[in-house]
Amino acid sequence: MNTGEQQLNGFIHRFVPADAQSQTAEQETLPILLLLHGTGGSENDLLELGQMLVPSAALLSPRGKVLENGMARFFRRLAEGVFDVPDLKLRTDELVDFITAASAAYHFDPAHVIAVGYSNGANIAACTLLLRPGVLSAAVLLRPMVPLIPEPLPDLTGTPVFISAGQMDPIVLPRETERLEILLQQCGAAVTTCWHRGGHALSHEDVDQAKAWLSAQVSR
């Protein structure tokens, strides 16, 4: 299968199939990692990260369709940390439709999709959990904040969520991470939060902890 740049439902993206050598009976339990980049990223940014997190998993990596000063994002914002909520809701629905279309095009089970999002990508992954519960089987949220507070709150009972935050992050302040953690717990999600001494950039510690957490989810 061609794993180069593709386009589906308006999303430029990459799809990397699961490692053919790992196609065993256990392969059915492996996730499809939905890789969601940060502001200014592309469909290529998180491929290496995805391969490190779950080496044999399939990877689905779309490019955000919104441009901000020429930089790709998954939804509009009005200012730093101030989101365009109507656009956020629209883009979340578009992303869910893309996942559905991709599952048909690439023949994977949408019930096994786990989001791995960084910054802007983590925020739309969190919004997908809150607005479209059941679409993601789990989520790894790297440097996220609260995207919105839906009414009523969704039922995310038992949905595993990993949050990784920097104590010195100048973009996502610790109180924002704590707000998201509390919100997801109020919805019933099983939240694991890891704090690091660094800032907004990712570190080896982020990767190691997310990999260990994902390994535990996949082996269940």
Catalytic residues: 119, 169, 200
Strands (DSSP E) along the chain, which ranges? 6-8, 11-16, 32-36, 58-62, 66-68, 71-73, 77-79, 82-83, 113-118, 138-142, 160-166, 190-196
Selection from 164, 94, 158 nearest residue 122 by Cα: 164
- For residue 154 the two structure tokens come to 């969704």
One-letter amino acid of 188: G
Cα–Cα distance measured from residue 52 to residue 35, given in angstroms and rounded to the nearest whole number = 12
Q: At what angle do helices 120-131 and 174-186 cross, to 10 degrees?
A: 20
Cα–Cα distance measured from residue 116 to residue 59, given in angstroms and rounded to the nearest whole number = 10
Selection from 51, 61, 57, 46 nearest residue 3 by Cα: 61
